Amino acid sequence: MPDQNCHQERVCRPVPGEQRCEEAEECGTNARGERICKTRKVCHDGPSREDCDYVQRCENTSRQECSQEKHCVETTRQECGYENVCYSVPVTRTRTVTRYRQEQRTRTVTKYYQVEKTREVTRYRDETRCCVTKYRDVFDHQDTLNVTIQFPQDAILYDGETEKMVISWIEKDNQIDVGLKMLTTFTSYKVVDRSVQGADAVLKLETVPVPALDPRLVGDQTVTGLRLKIMEDNTGVVVFKDVGQLAKISTVYELVVKDNTGLVLTTQRVTANGIADQKITLNQKLSLERDHTLTLKVLRSGAGLRPPIAFLKTFFRPH
């Protein structure tokens, strides 16, 4: 009998996903720079899946199986032999086949946008306007104002101290006033009263208390390393270090050089420049063959340092 060859075949087909829709907003700018937005509905398919089934497919086949059987016939003699005997055995074979197919879907989306065009139009017109000319008289004049400044009783200036100030004429709304600005001062002042009568003005000042300065910050211990050097060309150079130069404190150096007989060879007065390491070149040439004694006098004055302080430093240079 014929053989039947059967197998299971897996057949799959894609199944599209569910369609999902949502509102999408699209914005743009027109020719006038205005922002325009519109909303449209956008739909798209969800993820697809496969739907597979198993289908049994059979095919008829046949085969022969042969074997040898022994047959004996009684005769006067017995002869034995072998012959081939064939018979059919049904065989069922199964195999799984998976088949795929590819599908491509497209959609057409039509988008619209609005374009607004503008143009610039310039129009002109002729106008006639009347002008009015006005004149006013302007003349120069010079006035004199006598200003008297009344300082407080405790505003004392010591030797070598000066104060500078600027007095300004202020005129506003036909009213005359006087302004005072201190440029250099050893005492802080404030105007407590002012009066202007005709060509005379009086300013009354009052002292503003200033905290006293610690003398140790500006005393003799702030000057160290005093030396007198004489170069090969007989030029004298004085070097020292001064760390007592503070803000609003004026410092002046007075240099005196004497020989071994006490004769004054040169004197010099120098204002401190705010640098700690001082190097002063003397105006007078000095001899390398003589002994010299250098005396440095330091004078300090300023706000919070009343009265001014002074101290001496001495250096002896043998020949």
pLDDT in tens, 18-69: 777 888 888 887 777 788 888 877 787 777 777 787 777 777 665 555 556 5
CA dist 291 and 258 (Å) reads 9
Contact 38, 112 (CB under 8 A): no
Sheet with strand 146-150: strands edge to edge: 146-150, 200-208, 188-197
244 and 189 together in one domain: no
Last residue of a domain, one of 99, 118, 138: 99
204 and 254 together in one domain: no
Question: What is the SS3 assignment for 93?
Answer: coil
Q: Which domain holds residue 188?
A: 164-208
Does 45 map to a domain? yes
188 and 227 together in one domain: no
170 and 260 together in one domain: no
CATH number at residue 311: 2.60.40.1930
Q: What is the pLDDT of residues 184-240, one digit of tens each?
A: 666 677 888 888 888 888 988 887 766 777 888 888 999 999 999 999 999 999 999
CA dist 272 and 282 (Å) reads 15
Contact 25, 38 (CB under 8 A): yes
Decide: pTM greater than 0.75: no
